[in-house]
Structure 1
């Protein structure tokens, strides 16, 4: 029965997925239609959940199902509302209800999972349970209540409000540095969502303490942002998109007496001011550095920021493939309905700015300088520099932190020095520094990246390090095997500095090579160029990379 329904859904939406953009459809309506048509194929009406969007043996997924439910209410055709309410009840039934547990008020990763916190399924934050899902699902429920109250019966509204109360209380358990939690105000995307859900719920139920706590927390996020009008979680293709989504909730749904309403719109504008200054419309990418990235080319992995751009300038001009569901990290296409629902309001805030035109046409060669700060991880604000020309972008950030891998302590997602260039066939080449140290002086300028290890201790054997540069594979028409920079397609690179000039070169691929690829949901194969530091040097190790796009 389920298979038969899936086949029917495929035939019902197959033409829609590949159809041309209708002339009477806005960009946001186009995103809603396409993202919903894709998810329709994964919906299990008998269970009232989406199947896992990464195709994990027909198990179901909770967060994506909640996002789909909001899209069903927005579409409101046939039995969409009935199915949306069914999904909502299912998601709430899987909410954790024991207030003694750290994961109280959170939601299941998937309904088939064992009981979190048992011997056979230990409670491991960001694995068996994810505290950020309180924010992702909680904000979705608020959006549904705000946008579609007439479609939600009173009993279901009461159920949602009770769930939001539980998730707000559970989120109050989160204190950065306590019980392994990393939620500080500098963790931008969940912090903005936390403040919103608690502030909205506190007002809804008349809980003055919850409301005050939310406003206080939001003020901490705002104070950190207004230091240089940047998100602490800087320039992430995925999480800048989430932060913009959550800030839109602040600006649209919070009352006038809330600091979130008072600051939300300006924070959106300033965030876009930074993002658009780093955006190269020729390459259709936001230049580095990236605090957290699931890929190295936005035209190949699906980022939530690209969905935002889709609603502003259209899918064909945005960093999207014609088939978004074929891109890496495709599961985030499921948030498309939420972005689409909020787009008319969100985009209205940008109408009198230069953002839309900058996203459409590269304004010319320029430099960008700014800072971002993520206490308590940073010992001082990260200094960010970038250089953009017609076919080349270079970005870097200087940092001194308490762990390798940036505030997220993930060397695989932290990209503090990045180069991208346009290749002859129109595809994007890239190179990124893979973090090896807690402190780095990284500067981007006209055609160069400079990398220095400032904490060098005079050549002690424990401090003999390396500079590791990851380089994307060539296009299908380029050289398959790379033995040096001469084989890297589309760019000429000159290396100078006090390092060993002959790198060790290896390949990391999907099916083999020297090691594994980095991001399992957004697979980019790469060549690893490792430049070692001579053990005898006493001055700080430095590596200078000078880039020139071939043919210019």
Structure 2
């Protein structure tokens, strides 16, 4: 029987379950030769390796500690240290990732939004090149152009991920807080040097807004500025964190919402980091602000949560999946909040390594929110406004007030978003979730994409307004872009092979949708447990730059 460290063994059984489950999964993916964990993409994963090092220290045997030390050294090797570059202080996502180019840009010369503007500009350069060269296909040399650009310009998300500074710095904070005495003095000194670089460059990014920070990254940034500011007696970091925390709370209070709204993907990160604020905050004010934000976020979740469907209703701002058990830690957090009856929500997904952090901090849920999470409330509306963050737009002009409206019943919940100007494909403006007669779960979301490409991209020229009524969504889509576009209603569930789709009626498992549409004839694409109802902007001899749908859920 494995003997865990004193810290781990003092935790409650539900938290120990999460730790053991995460470690069992990570153990199978550990590469002893590389001292790193294999990731989902066939490459080693720096962030998950840092989490695994924490888990090994929590397990605590001499062999585990030695392995953890080797992994920490390997993660430290992943830090990018080229002084003055936009990516200085962050970490390579994996050792297989090529280091970004250097020598073409320098800190202090970037305008706000530079990191995104550069990428968009290069994409536009290629589009115009293809047009002027009269290439038969716009994508003919796109890959080669991208490779050439990445050898000269450090493009955010393409050649580096700026957010790995914050993710690794948070995990190292937890390691140093709990296990500094189990690491060598030399290794701790290396970690401190790396963290000084990471936090100082995170601060430069935050102040310059060269790459604007979404909510989850802002929470991590403020935490590491606060935590390491106290560790290294950096008064300016501490003051910055206190001011930033108060400003974030004021911004949250205005509409009772974060910019990353109703996102199971990022709410899971938010609550994990707010647990760090609550447990490791060095000042009463910082801890109290964190607790207020944590409580408020649980209230936001409860407002859009259906106990019958065990899921959050849309619409979603910056989210990957429709289910809280996919690409999300929300199921894990609900398990800690609601008890053993929700253990089935803790299924393994790409966020499971975060469970090692979540188990240390637990949850703090207000009693009123707990009641909402436990008890189905019948038919109801949920309405929230939030100020989105448009990453690609100029800071100071990139916050727009959006309205999210959901209608929830025990068997069906639908949601719509109005007012967004965001170019991000992770904005899901129209959603539906329902149960069939056997209690099986299904979901639908509206996405847009370049023809044949992923929806998870930034595209300009499109706006969506979705009004929510009882059992009805009214959708207006304006679809103008520099590339061919299609609007897609993406379905997910168990028996989608049974669907029957016509222009005015969608016969789905457990649900009929009557469709009143001003749109082209749809095409249906089925792929295993998913199906797509596709409306092409360029259809036959007509360009549908505007489409309208009135969906009646029967």
Please report the TM-score for the alignment, with normalisation by the length of structure 2. 0.78
Q: Secondary structure at the match of 2:21?
A: helix
Quickly say closer, same or farther: Cα 1:178–1:129, change in 2 above 3 A.
same
Q: Deviations over 1:281-317 (max 9, x none)?
A: 2212100011122222334x24122222232234762
Shift of 1:228: 1.5
1:384 and 1:104 map into 2 onto residues whose CA distance is 38
Other-structure match for 1:45 = 32
2:492 and 2:80 map into 1 onto residues whose CA distance is 44
1:342 and 1:31 map into 2 onto residues whose CA distance is 12
Shift of 1:128: 2.5
Q: Secondary structure at the match of 2:498?
A: coil
Other-structure match for 2:510 = 490
1:36 and 1:26 map into 2 onto residues whose CA distance is 15
The reply to whether residue 388 of structure 1 matches residue 397 of structure 2 is no
Other-structure match for 2:122 = none
Other-structure match for 1:141 = 172
Quickly say closer, same or farther: Cα 1:228–1:480, change in 2 above 3 A.
closer
Structure 2 residue corresponding to 1:125, chosen from 143, 151, 156: 156
Shift of 1:189: 0.4
Shift of 1:137: 0.7
Q: Deviations over 1:421-444 (max 9, x none)?
A: 012232222222225864333222
Contact 1:370–1:383 under 8 Å retained in 2: yes
Other-structure match for 1:304 = 329
Other-structure match for 1:359 = 373
Q: Secondary structure at the match of 2:350?
A: helix
Give the paired residue count. Answer: 479
Shift of 1:214: 2.7
1:101 and 1:533 map into 2 onto residues whose CA distance is 42
Q: Deviations over 1:225-272 (max 9, x none)?
A: 1211211101111111111111121222122254x3231101111111
Contact 1:96–1:104 under 8 Å retained in 2: yes
Unaligned runs of 5+ in 2: 3-10, 103-146, 450-460
Q: Secondary structure at the match of 1:354?
A: helix
Structure 1 residue corresponding to 2:521, chosen from 485, 503, 519: 503
Unaligned runs of 5+ in 1: 1-11, 14-23, 511-523
Structure 2 residue corresponding to 1:225, chosen from 252, 267, 278: 252
1:202 and 1:447 map into 2 onto residues whose CA distance is 51
Q: Secondary structure at the match of 1:73?
A: helix
Other-structure match for 2:533 = 528
Structure 2 residue corresponding to 1:336, chosen from 355, 369, 383: 355
Q: Secondary structure at the match of 1:79?
A: helix
Structure 2 residue corresponding to 1:427, chosen from 440, 447, 451: 440
Other-structure match for 2:193 = 162
2:31 and 2:352 map into 1 onto residues whose CA distance is 18
Q: How does 1:24-103 map to 2 (within 5 A)?
A: 26-50=13-37, 52-54=38-40, 56=42, 59-77=43-61, 79-103=63-87
Q: Deviations over 1:201-244 (max 9, x none)?
A: 11211112222233333333223212112111011111111111
Structure 1 residue corresponding to 2:283, chosen from 256, 259, 266: 256
2:208 and 2:287 map into 1 onto residues whose CA distance is 29
Shift of 1:357: 4.0
Q: Deviations over 1:408-458 (max 9, x none)?
A: x332x21011111012232222222225864333222221112235x79xx
Shift of 1:335: 1.3
Shift of 1:42: 0.9
Shift of 1:70: 1.2
1:532 and 1:49 map into 2 onto residues whose CA distance is 45
Contact 1:285–1:319 under 8 Å retained in 2: no
1:247 and 1:274 map into 2 onto residues whose CA distance is 15
Cα RMSD after superposing both structures? 3.3
Quickly say closer, same or farther: Cα 1:142–1:488, change in 2 above 3 A.
same
1:136 and 1:490 map into 2 onto residues whose CA distance is 41
